[in-house]
Structure 1
Amino acid sequence: MSGSGSNPDQYDGLLKRYAEEYGLDWRLLKRQMLAESGGNPRAVSPRGAKGLMQFMPGAWRDWGEGDPFDPEASIRAGAAYMSFLLSRFEEIPDERERYKFALAAYNAGRANVNRCLEYARQAAGAPGSFEEWVKAGRPPGPWQQWKVAREFLSMVTGRNAAVTIRYVEKIMGEEEE
């Protein structure tokens, strides 16, 4: 990322406001912002993601309004997108685990995390596709834990899996020693 840092605490009011509006924990949203941009509203990643919440141009068109470098617009869009992602992992009953899957999807793409879940379900002997799993009565299984499902992420994203795993662990405060 390029650009200079700023005091990330200055965004606490916005983080609290939009976390409350979208039903998120503001502290996790702040940790996500720090993981994404270091709290720098002018941050630009090597791949072209912009702003505090690091939106790619296509995702910004879907979720953002105005300037991606505007802190309020970026935080609002990031909170809205995280809320959306959380709603898409209904098969994960535990709220904290669901948050991990949503963070992974924010970082690696929802389609990639869905494929990871499919492989994890199959490995556990459950119906692989989400639709088949629902038809089977939604039996619970170990794939509903991020530490189990993440092992299949490299089958989908290759070497980038390690980046996503560290991203989730950092935000959730579960970095391994």
Structure 2
Amino acid sequence: MTESMAERIAKARAHLEETRAAIGRAGEDLRNTSETVRSRDRSVEVTVGPQGELTGLTFPDNKFGGMTGPQLAASVLEASDEARRRVAERVMEAFAPLTGPNPHAPEAGGVAIDWEQIFGSALSGGQRTGAGRSRSRLRDEIIEDDTDVTPGGRA
């Protein structure tokens, strides 16, 4: 038994409304999301909000005392880049199920989202090409004497 066109359209519209509602719920959940990350050298802890904005910055145990300005700046950038990447991943995970094709109108295809355009360097951990001193080199300066470093993660 084949569905009539009217039945297919009604089911597709219902699916669209369900998807819209799910997008609204996901958006509301993500409005309150944040990520807190410590730099690999453990000198800086940053918190980033749902739009990648820096909402908190602390210096645990005053470990920054012996650091140069560029070293401290690199630690701040490293931690904030990682936090932004984690927020971006959380957003992509929340919306991934909602981008597939409508099962009642599969010929329409799914929604293609260019996450790189939306999040830019956040997805690559803040690594950008261009002139100037690379962050990787600054990070190397920060940890070259510290062999007891754990990769960045939640504090």
TM-score (norm 1): 0.23
Higher relative contact order (CA 8 A, sep 6+): 2
Report the structure, 1 or 2, having the larger helix content.
Answer: 1
- Highest CA radius of gyration, 1 or 2? 2
- Taking structure 2 as the reference length, the TM-score comes to 0.25
